[in-house]
Amino acid sequence: MAEPPSLRERTRRAVRAEITETAMRLFAANGFDATTVDQIATASGISRRSFFHYFGSKEDLVLGDTEALGETVRAALEARPAEEPAWAAIRAAFLALHVEKGMEMDGLTVARMYHEAPSLRARHLEKHLRWQVLLAPDIQRRLGLPDSATPDPRARAFVAAALACLDAAVDAWCESDGAADPVQLFDDAVAALRA
C-alpha cells in the first residue's frame, strides 16, 4: 500500500493547482500567447521566480512535465505483458497517461489552446520527438526487430504513427466539443492505419 503524500507534497500540489487555475482564467480572457508569466505570477500572488519553482515554462503549465509524462508512458509500456502486441501495449500505455495526468484542468480547453498557440504546438511536437526515442526500444522488441544501440527507424516510425493517431483523436474530440469518445477515436485512427 502506497504511503500518502507528505504535507509538503500536498501543499506543493495545492499551490500548483492554484497557479494553474489562475493561468487558465488568464488564458481564457487574453489568449495563451498574450498572457505573460509575470501576469500569471502577479495574479497568483507569487514572484516570477516562484512561478519557475513550480513550472519550467508557461508551456509546461499547460502540457505538464513532458519528460516525466514520457517516463510514465515508458514505464506503463514496459509493464505490459511481454507477449502483448505493440498496438495493444502502446494503447494501454497511453491510457495510463490519461489516468496519470488526470483532470487538473479541462482537457477540452487545453486541446483548443493547442490549435491557437504556436508555441504550444511547437513544444508538443518537441515532446513527440523525445517520446519516439524513449518508447522505441520496447516497441522494437515487440515488433521482433533486432536489438541495436540506436532505435530502429521502423520502431520510431511506429511510435510516431501512434502519437499521430493520439493527436488525431484529440483533435476530433475537440472538434466534437467533447461529445465523442477519445479512446474510440484513437482506436478508429489506429484501425485506419492498420487497414
Distance CA 27, CA 170 (A): 20
User: What's the pLDDT at 1?
Assistant: 64
User: What's the pLDDT at 81?
Assistant: 96
pLDDT band, very low/low/confident/very high, at 99 (cuts 50, 70, 90): low
Distance CA 62, CA 32 (A): 10
Distance CA 80, CA 74 (A): 10
Q: Report which of residues 115 and 139 the model is more confident about.
A: 139
Write the single-letter amino acid at 162.
Answer: A
145 phi and psi angles, rounded to 5 deg: -85, 150
Own/partner pairs, 123-126, CB within 8 angstroms, 24+ separation: 123/57, 123/59, 123/60, 123/63, 123/66, 124/63, 126/66
Distance CA 100, CA 73 (A): 9
Please check the confidence at residue 105 and state whether its pLDDT lies above 70. no
Q: Which residues contact 125 (CB under 8 A, 6 or more apart)?
A: none
Please check the confidence at residue 160 and state whether its pLDDT lies above 60. yes
* Model pLDDT for residues 20-76, shown as the tens digit of each residue: 999 999 998 998 999 999 999 999 999 999 999 999 889 888 887 777 888 889 999
